[in-house]
Amino acid sequence: MIVFRYLSREVLLTLSAVSAVLLVIIMSGRFIKYLAQAAQGVLDPSVLFLIMGFRLPGFLQLILPLGLFLGILLAYGRLYLESEMTVLSATGMSQQRLLAMTLAPAALVALLVAWLSLSLAPQGVAQVQQIISQQDALTEFDTLVPGRFQTLRDGSRVTYTEQLSDDRVNLSGVFISEKRFNQDKTKDRAPSVLVAEKGHQEVQADGNRYLVLENGYRYDGNPGQADYRAIKYDTYGVLLPKPEVSEEVTEREAIPTSELFGQTGLRERAELQWRLSLPLLVFIVTLMAVPLSRVNPRQGRFLKLLPAILLYMAYLTMLISVRGALEKGKLPMALGMWWVHGLFLLIGLGLMYWEPMRLKQAARRAEVTRGQA
C-alpha cells in the first residue's frame, strides 16, 4: 500500500504540473485570438473571461490524457534513472503489477475526462455559442470605445466618438464614415461622412433604434469632384440595425450527450463515438506509457520521450482523421473509431509483453546451449 500511494502521488503530481503548463499554453493562444476580436469591436471585452471559462472543459478533456501520458513517462523515468525501480523490481514488482497500480490513478483521470467530454464540455460550447450569438446581435455602438476608430463587421462603416456616457446613450465628438452601394450592392458609390458635436440613441415605439446627431455636417462624394456636397444640419437621424439574438445552437459539439443517443445522422453518431473514445483513450495511453517509461539509467530519462510523444500524436491524429471520415460517410459507422483503439491496444500489449518474452526466449536459448555443452 505504501508503494501504491508513492507511485500514485508521483504520477498525479507530474500529471498536474504537465497539464497546468499545457493548459496555460493552449488557453493563452485562444485568449489572444479573442482579445484581437475584442480590439476590433467584434466582442465585448467584458465577456472574454466568461468565454474562456466555458471553454475550459473542452481544453481539459484533451489535455488530461496527454498530461497523464507524459506524467507516467516523466515520473517513472525518474524512478528508473535513480534506480528506485530496480529496488522495487528486486522486491517482486513486475511490469504487470506496476501497470495494475498505475491503472488506479488512470481510472480517476478517465472518470474526470468522461465527465468533461459527456457533460461539461457540451454545456460549455453551448454557452459560448449563445454568448457569441448575442455579441453578433450588438450594433457597433454597443461595443464602441471612446477615442478609438471602430469598423463594422462588413467594413461598411467606421465610427469614432471622443466621449461616451456610462449608459452608452450620449456621445460627443462623433465621426461616422459610411460606404454607399448601388441597389444591387455590386459597385461602391461615393462615401458619406457625418460629423457632429454630440449625439444620443433613441428607441422608437416600433423597436427601431436611431442615433440622433446634433449640430454637424454631412459630406457626400469625393472632394474635388463636381458632385461633392457639404450639408449642415441641426438634427440628423441614423437608423441602427435591430438586434436579432439567436438562441439556437447548431454546432454538434454543443448537443447534449443524451440527445446524441438514437440519432441517425452521420455527424451526430461520429460526435457520440468521439466523446466515448476520450475516456477509453486514457486507459490505452496508460498501457503504452508504463513500458515506454522503462529506461536504462546510462541512457537518460528522455531517450524514449520523443518516440513516445510521436506515438501518442499518431494515436490522436488517427482518431481525428477517422472522425472526419465517419462524418463524410467514408467509413462504416459500425467500424467507427473502435478499430483505432484496438490497434493501439495491440501496440500497448506488444510493448508490455515484448521485453519479458524476449528475456524468456534468451533464457531458454541459454539453457539449451548449456545442455548441449
In a domain, 76, yes or no: yes
Residue 167 shares a structural domain with residue 282 = no
> Do residues 286 and 100 make contact, with C-beta atoms less than 8 angstroms apart?
no
Q: Distance between alpha carbon 124 and the CA centroid of its chain, in Å?
A: 11
Range of the domain at 58: 2-136+249-372
Three cell numbers, residue 74: 516523466
Boundary of a domain, candidates 187, 214, 240 = 240
Q: Give the model's pLDDT for residue 249.
A: 46
Q: How far apart are CA 109 and CA 18, in angstroms?
A: 14
Q: How far apart are CA 313 and CA 110, in angstroms?
A: 19
Closest CA to 199 of 189, 213, 184, 183: 213
Q: At CA 122, angle to CA 120 and CA 125, rounded to 5?
A: 105
Residue 182 shares a structural domain with residue 266 = no
In a domain, 17, yes or no: yes
> Do residues 240 and 201 make contact, with C-beta atoms less than 8 angstroms apart?
yes
Three cell numbers, residue 208: 427601431
Average pLDDT for runs of 10 along the chain of length 373? 85 92 90 79 77 90 93 87 80 84 93 94 88 68 75 72 82 84 60 87 77 87 72 84 50 83 86 92 93 77 79 92 90 90 93 76 70 62
Q: At CA 368, angle to CA 364 and CA 369, rounded to 5?
A: 115
> Do residues 201 and 187 make contact, with C-beta atoms less than 8 angstroms apart?
no
Residue 313 shares a structural domain with residue 345 = yes
In a domain, 143, yes or no: no
Q: Please report which residue ranges of 241-337 form alpha helices under DSSP H.
A: 257-260, 266-292, 305-327
> Helix, strand, coil shares of the chain as percentages rounded to 5?
60, 15, 25
Q: How far apart are CA 70 and CA 14, in angstroms?
A: 8
Residue 169 shares a structural domain with residue 105 = no
In a domain, 142, yes or no: no
What type of residue is 34?
Answer: Y
In a domain, 145, yes or no: no
Residue 194 shares a structural domain with residue 336 = no
What angle, 0 to 180 degrees and rounded to 10, lies between the N-to-C axes of helices 48-81 and 2-39?
Answer: 150
> Do residues 41 and 151 make contact, with C-beta atoms less than 8 angstroms apart?
yes
Work out how many domains the chain is built from and give that number.
Answer: 2
Q: Give the model's pLDDT for residue 299.
A: 66
In a domain, 293, yes or no: yes
Q: Give the model's pLDDT for residue 245.
A: 45
Q: Give the model's pLDDT for residue 339.
A: 94
Residue 7 shares a structural domain with residue 84 = yes
In DSSP terms, 239 is beta-bridged to 210
Boundary of a domain, candidates 195, 218, 240 = 240
> Do residues 200 and 161 make contact, with C-beta atoms less than 8 angstroms apart?
no
Torsion angle, CA of 103/104/109/112, rounded to 10 degrees?
Answer: 130
Beta strands in the chain (DSSP E): 150-151, 157-164, 170-181, 188-203, 209-220, 229-240
Residue 220 shares a structural domain with residue 258 = no
C-alpha dist (Å) from residue 38 to 49, 125, 159, 191: 12, 19, 15, 26
Looking only at the bridges linking them, the beta strands covering 157-164 and 150-151 are antiparallel
Q: What is the pTM of this model?
A: 0.73
Q: How far apart are CA 260 and CA 273, in angstroms?
A: 10
